[in-house]
Amino acid sequence: MSALAIRPPPVTGALRDKQSARAETFIHLKDSNIKLRVMIYRGQVSRLRPLVILNSVEFAMPPSIAFCEQMWANGLQVIFVERPGFGASTTLPKALFTDALIAKGATATTEAALMQDLMRELNLKDVILLGMGSANPVCYRLALLCNEISLSLYSNVVFNKDILDVFRPKWLQHMFRQTLQSKAGVKIASAGIKYRLRRKPVEFYRLLMHQSAGDVRYVNAHAADFVDAGRLFQSIDHATMECDLRMSLTPDALLKDGLFEDRNAIAFSGLETPDHWRAQLDSEAERLAIPVAYAPRGDFLAPYASPDFFLSVIKDNVTDQAVSAT
Amino acid sequence: MERKPFKTEPFHAPDRGEHNPWQRFLERAESALSPTASEAAADLVSQIEAARAALDAAESSD
């Protein structure tokens, strides 16, 4: 079969299931041709406090129904946003993907401005924001821009750390290094990951997350979501992937000493995170003045792998009664 | 050679003004930041200005 004949199969499963409580919808931003795919749990914005989640590069899927239900039972409505350039959401303009703009942080800031408009469009108030992995450079910008965010949680956040050595297996670490070296490196790495995700998506995620029993348990319990995530990954263009990885794996000038001093923000991670990563995170968190919460289970997916702990962190850090006990 | 039928749909020039909505998002974000005086806000304003300049340049070269 020629390379041109390879086409990603259509997305099926949870994202396509219109009957599901996780059915996606397209939000068209006012006076524009820009649309974002959003999963509003149970279909419509409710009176519950919004828990807005932005996806990481490796897993552009909403959390499981069980997680969403548990949040709902505790007064939180999950609203998952598929970021620009992932799956079906509109991509950022090409003009913003120059090396200089990515390095300056201008590309991530534009995405944050777009997200701010989305929150305005949905009329979301008193938001709890959860950034997953590579979404975090956008999320901490969004939290600075948007007054409606009352608590931000940055899960599996990198914060200028030298963490490439942490990634296992070694071929994955090599791929990430390639993405930082050149645009050709991004294309090679991206093609390699896409190839593996086309063939055996669930195995890919088990291998990627093998250092955390909690993550692997989540992958096994929701394997269909990881098949869909593998399919969605096929549609990520090189520019989006390059921007996401570079923002996460190279220093971000916005992260100055004490950045989070006056902010209601938490760096969220898991005790199953490798020691090197934890040491780097603790050191950077101290410099940036942000507390770190370590969940008992999980690494990449710590909030989803430890939902009880995640809820307890939220309850400890919000001031009103909107988040109720079960 | 068979002629193509005359098109009755309105003509659209999708490329012109493509960047305008992005400019609006950035403009709104910038104005929300302006009253604040923190160093982080100043950094974001500088990033917004860089993005807007790049979009302007792309728009005028379309």
CB-nearest to A101 from B19, B29, B54 is B54
Q: Cβ–Cβ of B43/A253 closer than 8 Å?
A: yes
E strand segments, chain A: 24-28, 35-40, 49-54, 76-81, 127-132, 149-155, 265-270, 292-295
Please give, one letter per residue, the 3-state secondary structure of A174-187: HHHHHHHHCHHHHH
Q: What is the pLDDT of residue B5?
A: 44
Residue A320 pLDDT > 70, yes or no? no
CA distance A304 to A306: 6
Interface probe for A, chosen from B16, B46, B47, B62 (most Cβ of A below 10 Å), is: B47
pLDDT interval class at A324 (50, 70, 90): low
- Percent of chain A exceeding pLDDT 70 equals 90
**Residue A130, φ and ψ in degrees, nearest 5:** -120, 115
- Return left, alpha or beta for A308; rule: phi > 0 is left, psi -120 to 50 is alpha, else beta: alpha
CB-nearest to A98 from B39, B40, B54 is B54
E strand segments, A156-303: 265-270, 292-295
- Could you tell me the strand order of the sheet in which A24-28 lies? A24-28, A35-40, A76-81, A49-54, A127-132, A149-155, A265-270, A292-295
Query: What is this structure's pTM?
Result: 0.88
CA distance A91 to A106: 15
Q: What is the pLDDT of residue A172?
A: 73
CA quadruple B30, B34, B37, B42: dihedral sign: positive
Looking at this protein, which amino acid is placed at residue A38? V
Q: Cβ–Cβ of B40/A256 closer than 8 Å?
A: yes
Q: How far is CA B25 from the centre of its chain?
A: 8
Neighbours of A134 (CB within 10 A): 25
- At a CB cut-off of 8 Å and minimum separation 6, what does A316 contact? none
Interface probe for A, chosen from B31, B33, B34, B43 (most Cβ of A below 10 Å), is: B43
Q: What is the pLDDT of residue B9?
A: 38
Q: What is the pLDDT of residue A30?
A: 84
Residue A146 pLDDT > 50, yes or no? yes
**How far apart are the CA of A257 and the nearest CA of chain B, in angstroms?**
10
Nearest residue of B to residue A142 by CA position? B29
Q: What is the pLDDT of residue A13?
A: 53
- Percent of chain B exceeding pLDDT 70 equals 65
Residue A285 pLDDT > 80, yes or no? yes
Task: Give which of A312, A321, A317 is closest to A260, Cα–Cα.
Answer: A317
Q: What is the pLDDT of residue A10?
A: 46
Q: What is the pLDDT of residue A322?
A: 54
Mean pLDDT of chain B: 76
Cβ(A139)–Cβ(A152) under 8 Å? Answer: yes
Residue A160 pLDDT > 70, yes or no? no
Q: Cβ–Cβ of A31/B21 closer than 8 Å?
A: yes
Pairwise pLDDT comparison (A282 vs A166), residue with the higher score: A282
Q: What is the pLDDT of residue A274?
A: 86
At A10-67, the pLDDT tens digits run: 445 544 454 478 988 999 998 888 999 999 999 999 999 999 999 999 999 999 999 9
* Helical axes A136-145 vs A238-249, angle rounded to 10°: 80
**ipTM of the predicted structure?**
0.86
**Superfamily for domain range A11-317:** Alpha/Beta hydrolase fold, catalytic domain (3.40.50.1820)
At A97-132, the pLDDT tens digits run: 999 999 999 999 999 999 999 999 999 999 999 999
Task: Say if residue A169 is preceded by a cis peptide, omega within 30 of 0.
Answer: yes
**How far apart are the CA of A27 and the nearest CA of chain B, in angstroms?**
15
Residue B8 pLDDT > 80, yes or no? no
Over range A74-89, report the average pLDDT.
95
Residue A154 pLDDT > 90, yes or no? yes
Mean pLDDT of chain A: 88
- A-B C-beta contacts closer than 8 Å: 89
Looking at this protein, which amino acid is placed at residue A183? K
- Say yes or no: A121 contacts chain B, CB-CB below 8 A: no
Residue B15 pLDDT > 60, yes or no? no
